Structures are given as structure tokens and as C-alpha cells.
Amino acid sequence: MKIFIDSANLDELEKAAQTGMIDGVTTNPSLVAKSGVSFEKLLMRICELVPGPISAEVTALDAPGMIEEGRKLSKLHSNIVVKVPLTDAGLKATRILSQDGIATNVTLCFSPIQAYLAAKCGATYVSPFVGRLDDIGVAGMQLIQDIRKVYQNYGFTTQILVASVRHPEHVLQSIMMGADVATIPYNVFTKLAQHPLTEKGLNQFMADWKAAGLTL
Ligand code: G3P
């Protein structure tokens, strides 16, 4: 499974990129607004930091507007993936942008039927928001399983990009279910390698080594 970072914070992205484990980045209008950097400048810097797919979301709400913005965004860098919302207009735009050979990420997906439509329109990625479903008492990860089944049934190649990830358990379940990508906030990414028994074991090894006065 590929790991993307869900962030528009350049400090976080730089630190994440340095681990060598990051395959791409997703942003959304809320994250970009928080970054305090102009959209184009931000995208160019992210493209320099991470040599992989970088999702940049359109803000027009009608299909012609989304197509125009999507074409403009895709010209900024060959790694830009145009993110469009899962609305009727967004699906229309996805179909046209896909026909133009532009990579797309259909976002704000909350049901298997929505995911089916995104794939039918040629989306490169679909982004089911698991955390926001959990928030309203619906099992978010079940959606991932359902989408996998739908895509397998019809041989769709649209990649399942698990979004709205809130904790390492979401990441584990994504791996177990065979999701193609999980986009992970930086604070969750930093928790993935942590285990209290690893820390405890290492402290013990170091204490024993020191007590015996050994050197390499
Ligand atoms: O980028 C889309 C998604 O990952 C947002 O997550 O935590 O705002 O629901 P969240």
C-alpha cells in the first residue's frame, strides 16, 4: 500500500519526505487555507519535496469551472492529480479530465455507489472518508471493504485512497483490506513505527550494555 501524507504544511511534508517512505501528498482547500502560502507556490514546493502524485483540489462547483481549473492545475507539474468533489458536476468533470489524460482524485466519497460512479467516470483515485463516517456512527472501514468488492466485481482500475484517517488502526485496516493508498495526517504517520514494547526493550538493552561497560 502506498503512503501519502494528507497535509499542506511544508514543515511536516519536509520531515515526512526525509523518511523516504512517502509516495505522494493530498491537500484540500481547508488544509491549503491553513498553510498561509499561495496555492500555486505551495503546490510547486510540495512537488519539489515529494516526487509522487500530489492532489490539488478544484474550488469551482460547476463542471465547466472544474474542468478549467483542473486543466490549469495539471499544467503546473506532471505529478499534479486534480481533486474533484463527488457531485454530479464533479463526475462530469472527472470524465472529461480523464479523457484528456489528466489524473483525477474524486473526493468526499461516503458510499460504495458513489465510488462505483467515480470509477465509471475514469477516476484515477477515489477518496472514501473513513474518519468522518466513524464520526457519525457509521463504520468507515466497512466502506473500504465494500468498494474493493465493487471494483473487483467489475475489474475497475480506480485506486482506493483511504482518506480522513484518524489513527494507526485505520492504517492497519487499510493494509489488511488491500487498499491501494492511505493518505495519513503527519501526526498519525509519526505514530506508525511506535510500540511501547519496542521502547521498553531498547531501554533494557541499552541499560544492560552500559552496566557491563561494553563498547563496539
Ligand atoms: O484530505 C481529505 C481528508 O483526508 C480530510 O480528513 O480529518 O478532515 O476528515 P479529515
Residue type, position 186, single letter: Y
pLDDT tens-digit map of 192-216: 999 999 999 999 999 999 999 999 8
Q: Which ligand 1 atom sits closest to the C-alpha of 127? A: 2
Tens of pLDDT, residues 157-177? 999 999 999 999 999 999 999
| pTM for this prediction | 0.96
Tell me the average pLDDT of the chain. 98
For residue 177, the model assigns a pLDDT of 97
According to the model, what pLDDT value does residue 178 have? 97
% of residues, the chain, pLDDT over 70 = 100
83 catalytic, yes or no? yes
Q: What is the pLDDT of residue 149?
A: 98
Q: What is the pLDDT of residues 104-149, one digit of tens each?
A: 999 999 999 999 999 999 999 999 999 999 999 999 999 999 999 9
Ligand 1, atom 5, residue with closest C-alpha: 164
Residue 131's Cβ-count burial label (10 Å; 0-12, 13-18, 19+) is middle
Predicted local distance difference test score (pLDDT) of residue 8: 98
Given pLDDT bands bounded at 50, 70 and 90, which one contains residue 90?
very high
Centroid of ligand 1 to alpha carbon of 164 (angstroms): 4
| Structure-derived torsion over alpha carbons of residues 35, 63, 144, 159, reported in degrees to the nearest 10 | -90
Which class is domain 2-211? alpha beta
Q: Which of 132, 138, 143, 188 to mutate to test the pocket of ligand 1 (most atoms within 8 A of CB)?
A: 132
Specify the pLDDT at position 200.
98
Residue of 15, 75, 83, 92 marked catalytic: 83
Q: Which residues contact ligand 1 via a Cβ below 6 A?
A: 6, 26, 28, 129, 131-132, 163-164, 183
The reported pLDDT for the residue numbered 138 is 98
For ligand 1, the distance from its centroid to the CA atom of residue 44, given in whole angstroms, is 22
Q: Are strands 54-57 and 2-6 parallel, antiparallel or unpaired?
A: unpaired
The residue whose CA is least distant from atom 6 of ligand 1 is 164
Query: What is the 3-state secondary structure of the chain?
Result: CEEEEECCCHHHHHHHHHCCCCCEEECCHHHHHHHCCCHHHHHHHHHHHCCCCEEEECCCCCHHHHHHHHHHHHHHCCCEEEEEECCHHHHHHHHHHHHCCCCEEEEEECCHHHHHHHHHCCCCEEEEEHHHHHHCCCCHHHHHHHHHHHHHHHCCCCEEEEECCCCHHHHHHHHHHCCCEEEECHHHHCCCCCCHHHHHHHHHHHHHHHHCCCCC
Domain boundaries, given as residue ranges, for the chain: 2-211
